[in-house]
């Protein structure tokens, strides 16, 4: 198989990329996306600040365009994301009554997941609800005003709005076993025990060079054993820039390890990289001095990590 999507499909997997509507007019961007990937995650277009910038005023235009493109190409679509503390419009943060915030959150989910119902394969219902480096809930307006129950309320609302999408909890630094992934594990186990709808866990896998957790496969397997699918949702491996041959070789090995770990877990069904090309990766904006984290370079050339991923599939 000559492309990532063909090789993944032969293994019963899906290989996706995050994409931005603002770049779709660039021919090499769209053609690389369409050639290699069979799943698309809108990078920003489905986030709350875009879709409901003021209360009860909805804007699905940019996301609708990406959805139409994905559908025309036969790509599965990951909805990203319904409830998150970032890219959240100011009006949500200003709500201080529990009933009011619950109704705003339920309304947002009903409207957005309802709008896309039937078109979304997987929804990241709640994103990044735990603090990094611990099993403690992150201090967000949802946590403060609604309390621990906001996550299950969000999942119930998402199921009601779109009964056909797989509903995922998504977070970073839960790729290996640690106190944060232990907390997500406990959450999923509790949801399964109580019948709260949840179908998958997303491991973002924003990794640094040479640091794929050695227990990533075991960590994915323990989630799978709870009865949920596991998705690698935002894979990238950043390095200090400029890239050189030895760094790119380490990166290739990192991608190979992640792909192989996923293939070793039957319920690891999706691998998604967080961008088509290094040219537009989020990494240099957020981690100054780092970049070159993806499979295609600034000129859409295949990097060693591309070849290693294809070989591992
Ligand atoms: C990032 C986008 O890539 C950027 O364009 C945007 O400016 C900030 O958000 N975890 C997530 C993603 O769940 O939504 C983030 O995406 C990257 C980290």
Cβ burial, residue 56 (10 Å; 0-12/13-18/19+): exposed
What is the Å distance from ligand 1's center to 82 Cα?
14
Strand-pair category, 39-42 with 200-203: unpaired
Taken in order 168, 208, 213, 10, is the CA torsion positive or negative? Answer: positive
What are 146-168's pLDDT values in tens digits? 999 999 999 999 999 999 999 99
What are 228-267's pLDDT values in tens digits? 999 999 999 999 999 999 999 999 999 999 999 999 999 9
**Which residue matches tokens 């198989």?**
1
Query: Which position among 45, 52, 166, 234 bears the catalytic label?
Result: 234
In percent, the amount of the chain with pLDDT more than 90 equals: 99
What Å distances lie between residue 32 and 24, 28, 80, 129, CA to CA?
11, 6, 21, 33
Cβ burial, residue 307 (10 Å; 0-12/13-18/19+): middle
Residue 1: which pLDDT band, with cuts at 50, 70 and 90? low
| Ligand 1 site, residue 43, Cβ cutoff 6 A | yes
- Give the residue from 124, 260, 266 showing the smallest Cα distance to 198: 124
Counting atoms of ligand 1 from 1, which one is nearest the CA of 172? 10
Q: Whose CA is nearest to atom 1 of ligand 1?
A: 282
| Ligand 1 site, residue 21, Cβ cutoff 6 A | no
Query: DSSP letters along 146-187, please?
Result: T-TTHHHHHHHHHHHH-TTSEEEEEESS-SSSSHHHHHHHHH
Q: 19, 78, 86, 169: which to mutate for ligand 1, most atoms within 8 A of CB?
A: 86
Determine whether 153 is an active site residue: no
Could you give the CA distance from residue 183 to residue 219 in angstroms, rounded to a whole number? 12
Counting atoms of ligand 1 from 1, which one is nearest the CA of 274? 3
Could you give the CA distance from residue 272 to residue 125 in angstroms, rounded to a whole number? 17
Counting atoms of ligand 1 from 1, which one is nearest the CA of 281? 3
Q: Whose CA is nearest to atom 12 of ligand 1?
A: 43
- 81 prior amide bond cis, ω within 30: yes
Q: What pLDDT sits at residue 296?
A: 98
Q: What is the mean pLDDT of residues 125-142?
A: 97
What is the Å distance from ligand 1's center to 193 Cα?
32
User: Domains in the chain, ordered, with CATH?
Assistant: 4-312 (3.20.20.80)
Q: 234, 284, 287: which to mutate for ligand 1, most atoms within 8 A of CB?
A: 234
The pTM (predicted TM-score) of the whole model is 0.98
Cβ burial, residue 145 (10 Å; 0-12/13-18/19+): buried
Q: What pLDDT sits at residue 42?
A: 98
**Which residue matches tokens 């621990």?**
148
- Give the residue from 87, 84, 183 showing the smallest Cα distance to 124: 84
- Give the residue from 45, 56, 187 showing the smallest Cα distance to 116: 45
| The pLDDT of residue 6 is above 70 | yes
Q: Whose CA is nearest to atom 16 of ligand 1?
A: 43
| Ligand 1 site, residue 52, Cβ cutoff 6 A | no
Q: What is the mean pLDDT of residues 293-307?
A: 98
Q: 80, 206, 282, 291: which to mutate for ligand 1, most atoms within 8 A of CB?
A: 282
What is the Å distance from ligand 1's center to 178 Cα?
23
Residue 23: which pLDDT band, with cuts at 50, 70 and 90? very high
């Amino acid at each position: 198989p000559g492309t990532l999507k063909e090789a993944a499909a032969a293994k019963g997997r899906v290989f996706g990329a995050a994409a931005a509507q603002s770049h779709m007019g660039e021919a090499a961007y769209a053609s690389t996306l369409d050639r290699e990937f069979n799943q698309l995650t809108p990078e920003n277009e489905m986030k709350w600040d875009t879709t409901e910038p003021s209360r009860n005023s909805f804007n699905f235009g940019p996301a609708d365009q990406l959805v139409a493109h994905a559908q025309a190409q036969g790509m599965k679509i990951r909805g990203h994301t319904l409830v998150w503390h970032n890219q959240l419009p100011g009006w949500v943060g200003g709500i201080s009554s529990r009933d009011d915030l619950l109704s705003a959150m339920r309304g947002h989910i009903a409207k957005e997941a309802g709008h896309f119902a039937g078109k979304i394969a997987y929804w990241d219902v709640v994103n990044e609800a735990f603090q990094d480096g611990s099993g403690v809930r992150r201090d967000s307006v949802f946590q403060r005003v609604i309390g621990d129950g906001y996550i299950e309320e969000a999942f119930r609302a998402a199921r009601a709005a779109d009964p056909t999408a797989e509903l995922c909890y998504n977070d970073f630094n839960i790729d290996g076993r640690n106190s944060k992934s232990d907390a997500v594990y406990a959450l999923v186990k509790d949801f399964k025990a109580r019948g709260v709808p949840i179908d998958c866990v997303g491991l973002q896998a924003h990794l640094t060079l040479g640091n794929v957790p050695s227990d990533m496969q075991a960590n994915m397997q323990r989630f799978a054993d709870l009865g949920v699918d596991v998705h690698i949702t935002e894979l990238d491996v950043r390095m200090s820039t400029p890239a050189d041959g030895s760094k790119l070789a380490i990166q290739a090995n990192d991608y190979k390890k992640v792909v192989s770990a996923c293939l070793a877990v039957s319920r690891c069904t999706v691998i998604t990289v967080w961008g088509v090309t290094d040219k537009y990766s989020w990494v240099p904006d957020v981690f100054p001095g780092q970049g070159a984290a993806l499979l295609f370079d600034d000129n859409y050339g295949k990097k060693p990590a591309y070849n290693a991923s294809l070989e591992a599939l």
